[in-house]
Structure 1
Amino acid sequence: MERVWISRYDAGVPLSSAYPEWTVPDLLRRSASCFPESTALFFYGARLSFRELNDLTTRFARGLLRLGVKRGDRVALMLPNIPQAVIAYYGVLKAGAIVAPMNPLYVEREIHSQLADAGSEIIVALDLFYPRVHAVREQTGLPERIIITSLGDFLPPVKRLLYPLKARLAKRWVAVEKTPPVYDFLALLDAASPHTEDDSPLLPSMEPDALAQIQYTGGTTGTPKGVMLSHRNVVVNAMQGRLWCSDFQEGKEVFLGAVPFFHCYGLSTCQNLAVATGSQIVLLPRFHAEEAVKLIHQHRVTIVSGVPVMFAMITDCPKVGQYDLHSIRVCLCGASPLLSEVQERFERLSGVRISEGYGLTEAGPTTHCNPIHGVHPQGSMGLPFPDTDARIVDEETGLRDIPTGEAGELIVRGPQVMQGYWRKTEDTQAVLRDGWLYTGDIVRRDECGFFFFLDRKKDVIKPWGETVYPREVEEILYQHPAVREAVVVGAPDHHYGEAVKAFVVQKEGCAVTERELIEHCRRSLARFKVPVAIEFRTELPRTIIGKVLRRALRDEADTVPAGMQASRKAM
């Protein structure tokens, strides 16, 4: 395979590397050995060193073993970015169990669906989420055991005392009776404190190819599936992220922990990368732009991984000019395409260029990223990571390689690619073929090796037998000065199969009509690509990390909008 992208790597980034035969907890053990007193986690004034974090994760693992957790059991984690999320993650893995992260926004139906699919009999959850977990248990019997923690558990002493009062005033206080089958997180840790070492269960040994986590896909295009990631998959992807930044300073970097750790992107590019390199994480359980820029300023944050909406909110923050963001050296963006306008404004504020990347849960998740320091073309999703191969093949058979510059389906191969889907053999066989992962994403590649995301294969619209990539239409809509956000989907049409429909959010203080936007599109797009209907919204449905729920909008567009026939004739 011709890897033309190698010449575009930053100096010092290798094509390949020898990865250690480690399990995920070894990342923490190594940093606890090399940087024992360095701060691992900062949380509203409280600090945990790597030595303390390593000790707490071991104690939590022993607590789980006392509760009857066995090697290979699946433990669900329903937690925001708080110290307990990191402790529970590494503690579950030290106990030989499998982590099954869960979105804290899930409602009862979704909670039960994931617990049942993963076979999770135990869950670690924030007390604020307990009513939903309790309701599921009352109705279904799952989970069998619930470990509850509070936002105040790891706050500094004074803030911990004041937290119950503050929570009650904010109407965010949930009283939970901690009697079996409900257990207290701190009590489990205390029961495995050093003075009980002699009668504590021994931690099981694990191999790198053992299953580490079942990471559920976002479900933005269908039913969520459990992606099986081994310890090797997780370790390698964290190490690949480390290799990508050639001037990384181990033991000295400071990460902003704003991307949710229950999501594969946050786990890999923030939590596991920071832990693997002895770097501090400044935890932010809920993203607020002003709080984020304040923390960057106060802690001299050097590395930020985020999603486009976070960077947009920072640039729009009224008080951003009061804070210095120039400590940031590395800025990563993923999950959805980044608008050039947002990138340019953020660069003016911080002095650092955002390196946009690409990945998917099935690949642990990162496979591509733009160079941290080198020049890259606008709109690129980057170059393949070290030890990662990428090809573009025809959409129909997936067997024929597509020429440079033309669109096709991206397939990837590398040590970070999943073992398969949990209990879904047919689905696994459909996407893992001859060692290659078929991503379902339509991309193109330029002559220098940079890849460009066009759209999801499932999102491609076929009006009049032609092919329309929604992102191309969205980029034209974004060029209109009154458009803040735009999403394009296919709407069923009984004459032509599908028609192009757009959902648009206008910028504050701006106004534009449907006809004006359609005329705007006509000037830049072939007529079959022009939306035949535009629906205005005040906001778009999103996942918790900011990705637009295109599937929800597509479901809404399953009937022909009023006026569509007239709009088509006018074309």
Structure 2
Amino acid sequence: MVGLDEPQRRWEFPSGTRKERDMKLMAGGPMTWAAQRFAERIAIVCEGEGQSLTFHELNADVNRLAHALRAFGLQPGDRVAILQPNCHRFILALFGVQKAGLVPVCLNTRYAAREHAIILNDCSARALLVAGECVETIAPVRGALSTVEHYLCTDGDADGMLNMTAVMAAQPTCEPGIEVEADALARLWYTSGTTGRPKGAMITHAIQSEHLKLFLMNMEVAIGPDDAMLHVGPMTHASGNYILPHVVRGARNVILPRFDPARVLETVVRQRITMLHLVPTMLFRLLEVAEQGTFDVSSVKRINYGAAPMPVSVLRRAIQVFGPVFRQHYGLTEAVQPVTLLLPEEHVLEGDETAMRRLASAGRPALGVEVRVVDDQGRDVKPGEMGEIVVRGPHVMQGYWNLPEATAETLRDGWLHTKDMATIDEDGFIYIVDRKDDLIISGGFNIYPREVEEALYGHPAVREAVVFGVPDEEWGEAVMALVALNDGQAVTADALIAHCRQHLASYKKPRFVRFVPELPKSAVGKVLRRELKAQYRSSVP
């Protein structure tokens, strides 16, 4: 027996045993597996085009696309960019690229041409699969894309591009049978750029497989062939994380081209939707419609939310309308959800004050994931103290593409440093306060925008609010709030400042309040705080 003070021997797999053999995987294996087991079941419903595909039909098209891409001479590991709005062709492109042993890079359809060019050149994409409606967006920068050799229009003809449907028609439907290394890139997922230039998070096939396992084993309600996921947000972002789990369970992926509250509710009723992913703005707009009508939403098992802070007042209304089906998950591009989970039974509306307070938390670490809140020296903070969230788990990215210094800064001592500031309570519930970069320092005091925003949300006239720091000669920074009001409501800036003073220390209250019709947001529903701060920092007297 090894003593406590003696180093234990590490057991290693002998050469040629299963560990080495398992280092190779069949590219696109989950899609093939699902097609074999659920061939005639519906895999995709594209509400925007009134089209549906069975698993057999989807897999056949995926195989055709994979063969077509390989026929261009693309080699395993080459990057293929996808510029596609929400529709069945996004899923086809995603799986087709992966089955060819290539690396999909999904582009945000809301980006401008210059932003697309930055990502395409950064990842050295060799091919671009672009929707007809996005052809004009990419046209101004085609001459600046030094590595893109093949342009395919996914839904028709376009000048200087191949018709993807025609190219696929000449290819067989048999499995490509391409093997890839487990530690080879499966996808390159770019950050949203809300805190700076987008960075490509490298996700390997092994990491993708581990994420699928974590997702399914942390889903407290089983996904089965009778279930349906409704995609209402961009599938290039958080909503896309639900595609593969539903594919391997034989469930339907139902797609709406864009978010429209009435249409979402109508689709929930018609398709008997069981799962949705919403950001706070979507949920707020959904409630405005749901509270005015009668919709049978009894099929819904889970409404997952995240990506931005959820006002507790909105969450309370939502639970009253939809019932106890809400589950918060915290995650990020570098370690996709689940990282932490606030389960439905932890969404307590009345009774114990401690339990009710946890409605404002992001929950506790998911099964299989380690989460800590640490100070600047990497030491665990005490309950109630502020620190940075760090994460360790099998689904954490391999690093940032072509950014070794940023990788070294983010992945330190085996932990992913998120730059998300939070507190933790005695029972392990984590309360996200703000981004480390968004901290306001006024007169030497630290002010986190989210706590000011929560105070503003407590006023009945406030629909949306964002807070940031602006230069102040005396205090260094002053607090500014941009506020959008509920329809038919009126309130003065002084009244909102006084309201905040009732709920916050005086130094945290806004010095300046500006009213706007609506707050600008990214494609995933995050308020563009950095852009607003840059816009307003010079407008303060």
Same fold (TM over 0.5): yes
The aligned residue for residue 81 of structure 1 is 86
* Partner Cα separation in structure 1 for residue 280 and residue 24 of structure 2: 35
* Mapping of residues 68-217 of structure 1, within 5 Å: 68-141=73-146, 143-150=148-155, 176-177=158-159, 181-194=160-173, 202-217=176-191
CA gap of 1:24–1:273, structure 2 versus 1, over 3 A, is: farther
The aligned residue for residue 286 of structure 1 is 258
* Partner Cα separation in structure 2 for residue 463 and residue 23 of structure 1: 55
Q: Deviations over 1:351-389 (max 9, x none)?
A: 233111111101134311112445562111122122110
Pick which of 128-137 and 138-147 moved more.
138-147
The aligned residue for residue 424 of structure 2 is 445
* Partner Cα separation in structure 2 for residue 320 and residue 40 of structure 1: 33
Aligned: 1:428 with 2:428: no
Whether the aligned pair in 2 keeps the contact of 1:383 and 1:450 (CA below 8 Å) is yes
Aligned counterpart in structure 1 of residue 373 of structure 2, from 384, 392, 409 = 392
Q: Secondary structure at the match of 2:309?
A: coil
Residue 471 of structure 1, CA deviation: 0.5
Amino acid at match of 2:303: C
Q: Deviations over 1:525-548 (max 9, x none)?
A: 112101111111111110112110
The aligned residue for residue 238 of structure 1 is 212
* Partner Cα separation in structure 1 for residue 26 and residue 239 of structure 2: 19
* Mapping of residues 398-409 of structure 1, within 5 Å: 399-409=378-388
Q: Secondary structure at the match of 2:440?
A: coil
* Partner Cα separation in structure 1 for residue 458 and residue 27 of structure 2: 44
Aligned: 1:538 with 2:517: yes
Q: Deviations over 1:429-477 (max 9, x none)?
A: 0010111000000011111211111000000111011111110000111
* Partner Cα separation in structure 2 for residue 254 and residue 281 of structure 1: 6
* Partner Cα separation in structure 1 for residue 23 and residue 43 of structure 2: 22
The aligned residue for residue 29 of structure 2 is 26
The aligned residue for residue 9 of structure 1 is none
Whether the aligned pair in 1 keeps the contact of 2:324 and 2:345 (CA below 8 Å) is no
* Partner Cα separation in structure 1 for residue 336 and residue 437 of structure 2: 21
Whether the aligned pair in 1 keeps the contact of 2:27 and 2:100 (CA below 8 Å) is no
Residue 204 of structure 1, CA deviation: 2.4
Q: Deviations over 1:136-164 (max 9, x none)?
A: 113545633211123xx7xxxxxxxxxxx
Residue 250 of structure 1, CA deviation: 2.1
Q: Deviations over 1:154-196 (max 9, x none)?
A: xxxxxxxxxxxxxxxxxxxxx723xxx51112112211144xx
Pick which of 337-346 and 305-314 moved more.
337-346
Residue 223 of structure 1, CA deviation: 1.2
* Partner Cα separation in structure 2 for residue 521 and residue 323 of structure 1: 37
* Partner Cα separation in structure 2 for residue 33 and residue 131 of structure 1: 39
Q: Secondary structure at the match of 2:391?
A: strand
* Mapping of residues 550-565 of structure 1, within 5 Å: 550-559=529-538, 561-562=540-541
* Partner Cα separation in structure 1 for residue 429 and residue 337 of structure 2: 18
* Partner Cα separation in structure 1 for residue 63 and residue 502 of structure 2: 62
Pick which of 532-541 and 550-559 moved more.
550-559
Whether the aligned pair in 2 keeps the contact of 1:490 and 1:498 (CA below 8 Å) is yes
Q: Deviations over 1:196-232 (max 9, x none)?
A: x6xx9x5421122211111111111111111111122
Whether the aligned pair in 2 keeps the contact of 1:97 and 1:212 (CA below 8 Å) is yes
Q: Secondary structure at the match of 1:553?
A: helix
Whether the aligned pair in 1 keeps the contact of 2:482 and 2:513 (CA below 8 Å) is yes
Amino acid at match of 2:311: L
The aligned residue for residue 302 of structure 2 is 330
CA RMSD of aligned residues (A): 2.0
Amino acid at match of 2:126: E
Q: Secondary structure at the match of 2:359?
A: coil
Structure 2 length-normalised TM: 0.90
Whether the aligned pair in 2 keeps the contact of 1:78 and 1:262 (CA below 8 Å) is no
The aligned residue for residue 15 of structure 2 is none
Count of aligned residue pairs for this structure pair: 509
Unaligned 5+ residue runs, structure 2?
A: 1-21, 349-357
* Partner Cα separation in structure 1 for residue 24 and residue 295 of structure 2: 43
The aligned residue for residue 486 of structure 1 is 465
Q: Secondary structure at the match of 1:237?
A: helix
Aligned: 1:41 with 2:44: yes
Amino acid at match of 2:34: S
Whether the aligned pair in 2 keeps the contact of 1:492 and 1:557 (CA below 8 Å) is no
Larger relative contact order (C-alpha < 8 A, sep ≥ 6)? 1
Unaligned 5+ residue runs, structure 1?
A: 1-18, 154-174, 563-571
Q: Secondary structure at the match of 1:523?
A: helix
Q: Secondary structure at the match of 1:328?
A: coil
Whether the aligned pair in 2 keeps the contact of 1:312 and 1:342 (CA below 8 Å) is yes
Whether the aligned pair in 1 keeps the contact of 2:232 and 2:255 (CA below 8 Å) is yes
Residue 307 of structure 1, CA deviation: 1.1
Residue 106 of structure 1, CA deviation: 1.2
Q: Secondary structure at the match of 2:482?
A: strand
Residue 48 of structure 1, CA deviation: 1.0
Amino acid at match of 2:236: F
